[in-house]
Amino acid sequence: MAGEAPAIDKAAVEKLAFGDAEEKTAAIAALVAEADPRAAALLEALSEGEMQVAGKRVLIVKGEDATDAVSGEKVAPLPAEREDVVANNRLRREIEGALAAFKLLSPDGAVRLAAAKALAGGAEASMLPLVRKALEKETDPDIKPLLELTASSMEMKSGDKEARLAAIRRLGESNSPNSRTLLAEAVSDSDADIRIAAQKSLLEVQGKLAWGERAGLLFAGVSLGSILLLAALGLAITYGLMGVINMAHGELIMIGAYTTYVVQVFFRKTNFFDWYLLVAVPASFIVAAAVGMVLERVVIRWLYGRPLETLLATWGISLMLIQAVRTIFGAANVQVENPAFMSGGIQAFAGVVLPWSRIYIIVFAALVLFSIFLILTKTRLGLFVRGVTQNRDMASCVGVPTGRVDMWAFGLGSGIAGLAGCALSQIGNVGPDLGQGYIVDSFMVVVFGGVGQLAGTVYAALTLGFANKFLEAVSGAVIAKIVVLVFIIFFIQRRPQGLFALKGRAVEA
């Protein structure tokens, strides 16, 4: 097939490969004008960095296969001396626009929609006739408004005043950040009428965009809250319910993250890489829970009721765990790759993209919270844990094996820390020091929420998440952290029992 088709414009291809920036831009325009699908393939190859030159010849190299860019013939063997044709951002932008314009005439609706979206991001004025042509034919209700918007944004740059005023009005009805950019430029136009119209439209667009921004901020708050919640939930059980000041909590999170890493390494060798989390989630729970139970049996159970010693002992354990991981996996961070479904994001509002990874973590946090709630309120273990927490001696009297309940409860708390580690590995770095970044936050959440209270932990995590994100938007990340810390110090001064105090006749040990 390729052999029969007439060769594409040789001069243009050579300019594309050997010319300077101006010549390359001109060559792209020339190739697009041909409306040849092979020209499109050629441009795509250039933007993907697959175009190479060998002497005077221009090649498209994909892996080990090479074809001649002009004739379309196979080139074998590969010439040894090859050089990449470098496409920089400017060139890639030109190509993107050119290709999108190309695809606007495609019979496939999905291709046209993608192209229209790409063009809405900013198109060269030279493409206006092409967009108009596509607009005439377009009937799809999803694509048409996008194209109209694109046409308007192009007309903004044209010289005709009436056309520009109409375009400004139409842009005012849209809610894309791109419209704001164009209108903001028009506000300082030399023509008074245009200035006034642009000002009006700009306010409209900004009003719509502001809602999107607020929603985005809200999402960021919930997202940070869910991460804090995951990190703190385990501690809410070990510290909140059992009263163990567990300084090694962060390291249990780290162990969960490393378990995820190990599972991921195994799965990389198989074809089911995208599903590794299905194994990693239970694995991280089990490993962290096992480590936690061993800790409880070997060290912590001898120290109940001696908070200072517990603090020192668990701190020592945390250092040992960090060093152990450093010895096994090395001091540098390890790389945990996201499965494909957790990359990218969903466009929720104009200009606001919600990343999938964060959406999944929010859902995951909710699920974990719900399971803990079920375990604590609906199972026998939960009943025992609550019984032992409220009155250890009495529970022991009625036959609750308090020692074993302690072990299981500590294991549960540790396992949840492991789950947090699994989730954190998807958005942050996994290294031996991972836990140290979260131990302070975790204690902050539990103490702020009120010790011995699951509900308090949830409210505290969300409150701190929102507070952090809103302050960050106003004052920057560094100040936000300081302000939150100072606020908590004052809050605990005024109300040492936290947001929610445990009411009733609990016996303090």
* Binding residues for another protein (CB under 8 A): 21, 48-49, 84, 86-90, 92-93, 96, 121-122, 177-178, 180-181, 184-185, 209, 213, 216-217, 219-220, 223-224, 227, 326, 330-333, 335, 337-338, 343-345, 347, 351-353, 355-358, 427-429, 431-433, 437, 469, 472-473, 476-478, 481
Q: What 3-state DSSP class applies to 345?
A: strand
Query: Residue 209 or residue 385: which is nearer to another protein going by CB?
Result: 209
Q: Return the ∠ at Cα 294 (arms to 293 and 295), rounded to 5°.
A: 90
> Per DSSP, which regions of 274-419 are E strands?
345-349, 352-355
At its nearest, how many Å lie between another protein and the CB of residue 403? 37
At its nearest, how many Å lie between another protein and the CB of residue 315? 17
Query: Residue 183 or residue 252: which is nearer to another protein going by CB?
Result: 183
Query: Residue 50 or residue 148: which is nearer to another protein going by CB?
Result: 50
**What is the DSSP code (8-state) at residue 239?**
I
- The answer to whether 335 touches 264, Cβ cutoff 8 Å, is no
Cα-Cα end-to-end distance for the chain = 85
- CA 502, distance to chain mean position in Å, is 37
Query: Residue 216 or residue 413: which is nearer to another protein going by CB?
Result: 216
Query: Residue 301 or residue 326: which is nearer to another protein going by CB?
Result: 326
Amino acid code (one letter) for 416:
I
Query: Residue 209 or residue 242: which is nearer to another protein going by CB?
Result: 209
Return the half-sphere exposure (C-beta side, CA atoms, 13 A cut-off) of residue 359: 13
At its nearest, how many Å lie between another protein and the CB of residue 343? 7
Q: If we measure between CA atoms, which residue out of 232, 179, 247, 272 comes closest to residue 419?
A: 232
> Can the peptide bond before residue 77 be classed as cis, meaning omega within 30 degrees of 0?
yes
Residues 6+ apart with CB under 8 A from 495: none
Structure tokens, 208: 């719509």
User: Cα–Cα distance between 177 and 225 in angstroms, integer?
Assistant: 28
Query: Residue 226 or residue 457: which is nearer to another protein going by CB?
Result: 226
At its nearest, how many Å lie between another protein and the CB of residue 272? 19
At its nearest, how many Å lie between another protein and the CB of residue 232? 16
Quickly tell me which residue has 């013939």 as its tokens.
73
Query: Residue 196 or residue 381: which is nearer to another protein going by CB?
Result: 196
Query: DSSP 3-state helix, strand, coil percentages of the chain (rounded to 5)?
Result: 70, 5, 25
Residues in the chain: 509
At its nearest, how many Å lie between another protein and the CB of residue 326? 6
At its nearest, how many Å lie between another protein and the CB of residue 504? 37
At its nearest, how many Å lie between another protein and the CB of residue 368? 19
At its nearest, how many Å lie between another protein and the CB of residue 176? 8
Query: Residue 343 or residue 371: which is nearer to another protein going by CB?
Result: 343
Q: What 3-state DSSP class applies to 69?
A: coil
User: Cα–Cα distance between 230 and 253 in angstroms, integer?
Assistant: 10
Q: If we measure between CA atoms, which residue out of 443, 256, 467 comes closest to residue 368?
A: 256
